[in-house]
Amino acid sequence: MRLFTMIPLLTVALLGGACSARDLPPLPRMDAVDVPRFMGDWYVIAHIPTRPEREAFDAVESYALRSDGRIQTTFTYRKGSFQAPKRTMNPIGRVEKEGNGAVWGMQFVWPIQAEYIISWLDPGYTQTIVARSKRDHVWYMARKPQVSEADYQAAVARIKALGYDTSKLRRVPQSRR
């Protein structure tokens, strides 16, 4: 990863949003997540993006459980259009002990880990919302590149109920059907 791409990630990880997580109510999370079942491809349907994701098209987050228990993550996207070349980021995830599979640390650069909380997951493991206590970034993802309008609106309502400003939510264009 190039240095100019890492600087915004470091800033977000170190400084976070304008308000402190202490000022917000605790972020709800799933009681338990079957981590091996969660592995695989997740299409980013909508997000309040980090800086590198702001113009993402065809965004896909792929998780693979490593033999050491950590999670190899591959985030691919195109910047600005469907014709742009694919870009890739490869953070390493770690499932936190106290979260029962729902709380992860995502490391883009050592030693900084960003908090990822699986706040909502449907029973079939086909749609999820990954959030952060700071309410600065959120990802609504699905196993397929498209969801129904009813599912999308339900996810937006869930994200709003988590304490996010949904006017910042960006629907990610996906070329696959």
Per-residue pLDDT tens over the stretch 99-140: 899 999 888 766 777 889 999 999 999 999 999 999 999 999
- What per-residue confidence (pLDDT) applies to 16? 44
What's the CA gap between 102 and 112, in Å, rounded?
19
CATH at residue 76: 2.40.128.20
pTM reported for the whole predicted model? 0.85
Query: How many other β-carbons are positioned within 10 Å of the β-carbon of residue 129?
Result: 23
What's the CA gap between 157 and 177, in Å, rounded?
24
CB 111 within 8 A of CB 10: no
Report the SS3 class of residue 153.
Answer: helix
Whether residue 177 lies inside any domain: the answer is: no
Count of domains forming the chain: 1
Distance, C-alpha 166 to centroid of its chain: 15
Query: For 65-86, how does the pLDDT look when each residue is reduced to its tens digit (9 = 90+)?
Result: 999 999 999 999 999 999 999 9
